[in-house]
Amino acid sequence: MNDRIARVLKKMEDKGLTQLIVSDPLSIRFLTGIMVNPGERLYALILRTSGKHTMLLNYLYFVKNTGFEEVWFSDMEDQISIIAANIDPDQTLGIDKTWPARFLIPLQEKLPQLKTVWGSDCVDGVRAVKNEEEIAIMKKASEINDAVMEKVMAYIKEGMTEKQVADFIDAEFLAAGASGVSFDTIVCFGPNAADQHHEPSDTRTLKAGECILIDMGCVWNGYCSDMTRTFYCKSADPEQTEIHDIVHEAVLRAESVIKPGVRFCDIDAQARDYIDEKGYSEYWKIRLGHFIGQEDHEYGDVSPINTNVAEPGMIFSIEPGIYLEGKYGVRIEDLVLVTEDGHELLNAVDKKWKVIG
């Protein structure tokens, strides 16, 4: 944990910050090993480049021996004054991405001379580069995802509902040892696959010839997996398979260039330019991928506007798609780990289209 804090402090120094409020419970867990779900209550770790760090803790939290200076308080105390007393109002204060306005704005009103800036990238940039332990955990989470995807391919039959299939997936995750899902499982049949975040219906049944889009992920030991595959029930017409082949090739082209030093916008361009060349850019208007770790969507993405470069230890999705409203959709998604000399796919399930059910 000390190494992680040291890396955050270095980023703070590079940014010209001497103090940073970290309020994201997952970031605090990442830095300290302590996990609290604060709800609406104040909960924060104040990091300082001086080396003196402070945790702001409500008596409700069951926390002991943090190793930091601890400032305890109750719901009945003036918590804005407590925050003010534990920062330097004459120094710029970094704020992370989750600190609520109900604390920030009153603090700014109380200390009008205080300058606040976005400082979340100091922590999120460290979280984006996984160490060997985190990588091993995420590989295991993806192995569970692969195994469950193989099971659901054998399970799906014509006449089943989307919700029935989603419930099967969720139950299989738990049976495999996962603690739950990393996001609400997405199962879409036919035209519903054109809705990129469709919620599974308990009335929509699968018909022969329809596409089956499944986007799923689990949590294992606090880290997430994520994968999407698109199949066809009993048969697939040439138009649908052609679209699937285009998306499949877009995935392969994007993945082929991933290595340290490559810009994320250039990875995105590999898929985007190919889909545009095939005449389907109108039907894919979102980014190519997102970073992943303790959360399914973390800081960082693979998009046309991200000029940052890939670094060893980063894990992110590659998930182009083509979505034809009223007809069907295709998405294929892998998780990719950047290695010292290239990349490694975390998903092993075949990406080619296939007929099931």
pLDDT at site 2: 86
Given a cut of 80, whether residue 202 has pLDDT beyond it is yes
Q: What string of H, E and C letters represents the secondary structure of 321-332?
A: EEEECCCEEEEC
- Region 332-352 average pLDDT: 98
pLDDT, residue 1, reads 59
**Whole-structure pTM value:** 0.95
Residue 305, token pair as written in the block: 């506007």
Instruction: Give the full edge-to-edge strand order of the sheet including 69-73.
Output: 69-73, 54-58, 44-48, 19-22, 93-95, 116-118
Q: What is the rounded CA–CA span in Å between residue 44 and residue 123?
A: 13
User: What residues have CB less than 8 Å from 132, skipping those under 6 apart?
Assistant: none
- The fraction of the chain above a pLDDT of 90, given in percent, is 98
Q: SS3 letters for 140-180?
A: HHHHHHHHHHHHHHHHCCCCCEHHHHHHHHHHHHHHCCCCE
For the stretch 73-85, pLDDT in tens is 999 999 999 999 9
Task: Specify the residue for token string 């990406």.
Answer: 351
In the three-class reduction of DSSP (H, G, I as helix; E, B as strand; rest coil), residue 4 is classed as helix
Between 265 and 197, the more confident residue is: 265
- Asked whether 169 and 153 are in contact (CB, 8 A), the reply is no
Chain centroid to CA 10:
24
Mean pLDDT of 308-328: 98
**313 in Cβ contact with 324 (< 8 Å):** no
Average pLDDT over every residue of 200-227? 98
The predicted model gives 193-217 an average pLDDT of 97
Phi, psi of 168 (to 5 degrees): -60, -45
pLDDT at position 197 is: 86
Encode pLDDT of 150-187 as tens digits.
999 999 999 999 999 999 999 999 999 999 999 999 99
Give the neighbor-by-neighbor strand order of the sheet with 334-338: 298-302, 289-291, 315-318, 334-338, 343-345
| Residue-wise burial string across 50-85, b where 16 or more C-beta atoms lie within 10 A, e elsewhere | eeebbbbbbeeeebeebebeeeebeeeeebbeebee
Burial class (CB in 10 A: 0-12, 13-18, 19+), 212: buried
The C-alpha atoms of residue 245 and residue 75 are separated, in whole angstroms, by 58
What is the average pLDDT value for the chain, to the nearest integer? 97
Give the span between the Cα atoms of 138 and 258, in whole angstroms.
Answer: 19
Write the pLDDT tens digit of every residue in 117-145: 999 999 999 999 999 999 999 999 999 99
Overall average pLDDT of the 220-227 stretch: 98
Query: If you average pLDDT over residues 220-232, what whole number do you get?
Result: 98
